[in-house]
Structure formats: C-alpha cells, structure tokens
Amino acid sequence: MVTGGKIAALTLIGFSIIIAAGCVYNKKEVVQVPCTIADTVTYAVNIEPIIRNNCYGCHSTGSNIAGFTFDSYAALKIYAQSGQLYGAVSHASGYRPMPDGGSKLDDCTIATIKKWIDIGTPQN
C-alpha cells in the first residue's frame, strides 16, 4: 500500500535529484570538479588527510619549514580558530597564500575546511 508518507518521501527524493542535477550542470559550466562535501565533516576522516596531503611537507614535526606544525589536532586548532587556516587556504588578503608556492586547493576542499571551522573545529 502506498501511504501518504511514502508519497511525500518519493516527492522529496524526486526534487532532490532535480536540484542535485542542476548543481552538477552549473558546476560543469564553470569547469569545476563536482563538489561533494560530507554531511558530517570530521577531523579524522576529512581534515587530517587534507592537511597531511597538502601541508605536512612544510608544517609537520619531521619537516618544519614554516616554523610551526599542524600534525596534531591541538596545533591545527589554534590556526583554525585564529582565522589563519581559512585565510591562508582561501587566499584571502592579509594572509600568506597556502600551500606555499603550490596551486590553490580545490573549492570543495576549501569548503570542507570551512565547514569544520564553522562547526567549531571538533576533534571528531
């Protein structure tokens, strides 16, 4: 039996697909990689790998070119909460653009970092 609840759910799924398809289409027009920001951004699953892959080369205990490290949650949190982490990766004026000398991170990665900062930089 098809209940009212099921119809509502199917309608919602239908609209979600239309909306999602629209977003992908727009992204293609501006030649962007389709961006999938996780619903729940966590330090362990999302943030630490981003920082490890892009930043530890200069900001880790083993390779401390910059003079400060991000290879612990506590250290990264200080820069996340001061605004420097987002300022640097988004190439905002007043911050030294990061990764230093490299290409800017893609929009999805930057948005993922921003989301983690916005939810209060949890150690999750």
What are the backbone angles phi and psi of residue 30, rounded to the nearest 5°?
-95, 15
Specify the residue, 16 or 82, whose C-beta has the smaller distance to ligand HEC.
Answer: 82
- 105 CB neighbour count, 10 Å cutoff: 20
Cα–Cα distance between 38 and 108 in angstroms, integer? 10
CB of 105 to ligand HEC, least distance (A): 6
Specify the residue, 41 or 85, whose C-beta has the smaller distance to ligand HEC.
Answer: 85
List Cα–Cα distances, 6 to 10, 13, 17, 19, in angstroms: 6, 10, 17, 20
Specify the residue, 4 or 101, whose C-beta has the smaller distance to ligand HEC.
Answer: 101
Residue type, 38: A
Give the tokens for residue 123. Answer: 């150690």
Specify the residue, 22 or 49, whose C-beta has the smaller distance to ligand HEC.
Answer: 49
CB of 73 to ligand HEC, least distance (A): 14
CB of 86 to ligand HEC, least distance (A): 8
CB of 77 to ligand HEC, least distance (A): 12
User: Residue 11 contacts by C-beta under 8 Å, 6 or more apart in sequence?
Assistant: none
Binding residues (CB under 6 A) for ligand HEC: these are 54-55, 57-59, 65-67, 79, 84-85, 88-89, 95-96, 98-102, 105
